[in-house]
Structures are given as structure tokens and as C-alpha cells.
Homo-oligomer: A and B are copies of this chain.
Amino acid sequence: MDFFFRPRGLAIVGATANRKKGGYHILYNVRQGFEGNIYPVNPRYREIDGIPCFASIMDVPDPADMAILFIPAPAVPELALQCARRGIRGVIVESSGFSEVGAEGRSFQDALRRIAAETGLRIWGPNCMGIIDTATRAVFSFVSPSIWEDELVRGGVSLVVQSGMLSGGFLMDAITHGQAGFSKVCSLGNKVDVNECDVLPYLIHDPATEAVGLYLESFADGRRFMKICRQSDKPVVVLKGGKSPEGSRAALSHTASLAGNHGVVRGALDQAGVIEAVDFKEMIDLCVGLTGAAGWKRAREGRIAVVTYTGAGGILSADFMQGTGLSLADLSPPTLEALREIYPPWMPPGNPLDLWPAMERQGPLRALSVALKAVCADPGVDGVLLHAFVGGAVSYVDLEEAAETAYSAGKPLFCWLLGRHSQVQGFKESARQLRIPVYGELSRAVKCMAALFRYKKNRRDSKG
């Protein structure tokens, strides 16, 4: 798979000088970050934007181990064959018009399948959006060049998406909203040859990847997929499309996927230690939660201290924990004693720990500092769910100190955040760097925290 992610030379078949077309976007995107050789292929041009353009893939010089094909579907099989003859090792077919559109398209896709089987050429796609790698800044995709106007935020989350358009839009949304940092985003499309069983192991072995989220409409080889997941030392999150009869019918016309019975799938995923997401952003949120527990070495129970500025948030936190394996920790007598020192005498501290009276008395920063140290030192506390607010002049949280406190205690710290729009982004960015997962909806924070504890427990159990 490495030649897909880090080719030495890359041909772009269907490159064009028309700036409105995907064939130009691919060339533009590749040039922004990719450091290997770039070979546009299109008989209509001698050069595009100053780069020599080749009439045929056969004319492309060495080194050239990968090609992106962005030409009409009927022409794709012949070009793929030429690539194989030329010694190209893998092609990403980003054109659509294959099995997803009916009988004729299916014949082109069948031809591609035969070519892969007969020549050994690896074929990624068709009907896909290619690869985005934030570490190498390789954008092998027709995604809008406007993606470069924002920083490609690096991080530990890699995605595999069996969809074309979504991956680009989804990624831009997630990156610019500070939802996560990413390693590699892979859009698989119709999976004529390369599928999740090829890409997932590559990502599991990728040092920059800490968790993998997959949106799949079908499993190319369910048994093998489950085995890969079971053996993975990194969390795998799956969002399955086509769970309902109507969704399943729609999947057939999207990526020609047969979705299967989801009850069976769910059981298999669970047994393989896979975390199931129900929606797109939740998939990323779960990945963030599962990678966001720096310093958390030992697996423990899910006894949580909830530190809040709002009683209502404390109550709903407890409600959301029900049935997830998380519970409110019983704070020990020494912890309660340490907390009483910052509270007014009329207010007994408890869990959820409504910190407001202590904040009024001690100032928010000192109250939170004492409270976090106290609950993190408590052997009966396995993790902390902090409710934070940003807005106005007063800072309620010293994130660095909070991360340090949780980190030294080896306890995961999760955060539910409300606040002014203009200040929320900065908080999220700092928290991301400190590996504190942050969520805007409280139920989501609890769900992702529960997923982390359940994942760690499963790993512990499976190791005996």
C-alpha cells in the first residue's frame, strides 16, 4: 500500500488546464504538498502551469509507481491496462460512472476487476475521492483547492470513507471546526480491488495514526475485517451505512454495496472490539475520545468525578452514564476534606461536584485547581468529566494545569464545553494539543468517555 500513500512518481491522467475542472484540482492539490515527481497526462497539452504534460502514460519517465485516473469511465479500463504495462504499481480511479450507475458502468468496473486480477495492478476506487495525508501534505484528490486555505491539522485520527463527495466536505468541516487532528483520510469508493482490508492494516501500522474511523456501506470480506480489528492495537470505530431496508437500497445505487443484515454485523463488530458510531461527526468524536487519554496507562473501572459549574449539567451527566459502564465515583473522606476547604460551610461537596460556590469564594481558577487535584488523587476516581465554559473576561480553566494534573495521576480528563463562539475555537485548539477531548453536547462527551473505558476494559479482558 505504501506506493499509494508515498509514491516516488505520480502520473495524473486527465489533468487539465481548465481551473474549474477536477482534473485541474488534482494537479493543483498534488503540487501543493507532494514532493515526488509529478507527471500530468493529457494529449491536448504540452504543459500545464509550467509542468511538462505527457501525451500518454507510456511516455511518462521513471520513477512513476502510481497514477490517478480522472477520465470518463469508458476510457478507464484501457488506461488502467496501459498503467500496468508501463510498470505503474497502483492507480486511484477517481472518475464515477461505474457500478453505481447501472449495467454499462458495471461492465467497466468488471473490466477493472479483471485487470487487477490478471496484471497485479492495485486499483483504488473507482468513484472515490482518493487520499489526503496531513503528515506528508499529500492531497491526491479532486477536492476543491480551497482546502489549502485552512491548515491541514495533523493528529492521530485516520479515516476510511466509502464515499466520494463526503470525505472532502466532511474533512473541511472537521478540520476548520477544530474537531480533531488527522493523519490520513482515505476515500475508497466502489472498492473494485483495494478495500478496507488493505487500508486498515496499513493505517494500524502507520506511526502517525492512533485511531481509525471507517464509514462503510459493505464489508468486502467481513471475516478478515473482524480479524484485523480484533488484532489491532489501535481503536477502530465503524459507522455502517445501509442499516435500514431503505438505506440498504440506497447503498446499492451509491457504491453498489450489498449492506447485509445489521444485527449480525453489530454482534461481529462488538466481538471484534470495534466501537460503532451512529453518525458522521460522532465517528470523529469517538476517535478523538479514544486517542485522547494521554498518560492513561492502567485500565481501570469507569468511576467518574464530574466537576461542574452547573448542577443541571451534573444531573444529566449522571443520567447519561446509566447503562454505559460509567458511574459517579464515591469520593473518599480525605478527598471530601480537601474539597471542604474551598467550599463555603453551608455547601457540602459531593459528586457531581458543583464547583460554583467554591468558585465564588476562591476565584474560579483556584477552585478548579484544588478540585481537580483532589479528585485526581482519589484512588476511587478513574477519570474526570469537566464542564467548562468560555466567555467574557474571566477564565475558568487553566487547561495546561488541568492536563498536567490528570496526566500525572494517569486519569483521563474529558471536557464538555459551552461558551461564546469566538472563544470556543481557541479552547478546543489548546485542548486538542493537550489531548483533552472536548465536546459541545454533554451526552456526546459521556458517550465518548464511556467508549474509552469500555475499549480499555475489552483490551484488558482479551489479554486475559
Contacts and interface: CB of A to CB of B under 8 A. Distances in A.
Interface of A: 73, 96-97, 100-102, 104-105, 144-147, 149-150, 161-166, 169-170, 172-173, 176-178, 215, 217, 239, 241-247, 249-251, 253-255, 278-282, 309-322, 327-328, 346-348, 350, 352, 354, 356-357, 389, 391-394, 418-422, 424-425, 440-444
B389 A319 contact: no
Given A172-B419, A255-B311, A246 B316 contact: no
A251 B315 contact: yes
A98 B250 CA distance: 57
A282 to B, nearest CB: 7
Contact of A314 (B96, B250, B356, B425): B250
Contact of A281 (B144, B163, B170, B440): B440
A279 B316 contact: yes
A329 to B, nearest CB: 11
A75 to B, nearest CB: 14
Contacts of A393: 144, 146
A421 B354 contact: no
Given A105-B346, A246-B318, A312-B254, A282 B441 contact: yes
A315 B254 contact: yes
A312 B161 contact: yes
Nearest to A357: B96
Given A104-B346, A322-B244, A217 B315 contact: yes
Given A172-B391, A391-B172, A318 B146 contact: no
8 contacts: A73-B346, A145-B392, A165-B310, A166-B310, A177-B421, A217-B315, A280-B316, A281-B440
B176 A422 contact: yes
A443 to B, nearest CB: 4
A315 B394 contact: no
Say how many copies of this protein the assembly contains. 2
A217 B243 CA distance: 35
Nearest to A100: B311
A146 B312 contact: no
Contacts of A100: 311
A392 B441 contact: no
Contacts of A346: 73, 97, 101-102, 104-105
B241 A319 contact: yes
Listed residue (A176, A215, A280, A419) with the most chain B CB atoms within 10 angstroms of its CB: A280
A5 to B, nearest CB: 23
Given A173-B419, A354-B254, A421-B425, A327 B392 contact: no
Contacts of A313: 166
A433 B52 CA distance: 51
B322 A173 contact: no
Contact of A144 (B394, B418, B442): B394
Contact of A321 (B246, B322, B356): B246
A331 to B, nearest CB: 13
Nearest 6 CB-CB pairs, A to B? A254-B311, A146-B392, A163-B312, A176-B421, A247-B318, A247-B319
Given A163-B312, A255-B311, A279-B441, A246 B328 contact: yes
Given A281-B440, A421-B177, A440-B281, A169 B391 contact: yes
A320 to B, nearest CB: 8
Contacts of A320: 279
Nearest to A278: B443
Given A97-B346, A442-B279, A315 B250 contact: yes
Contacts of A149: 420
Contacts of A280: 316, 441-442
B172 A418 contact: yes
Contact of A164 (B311, B315, B318): B311
Contacts of A327: 246
A173 B357 CA distance: 22
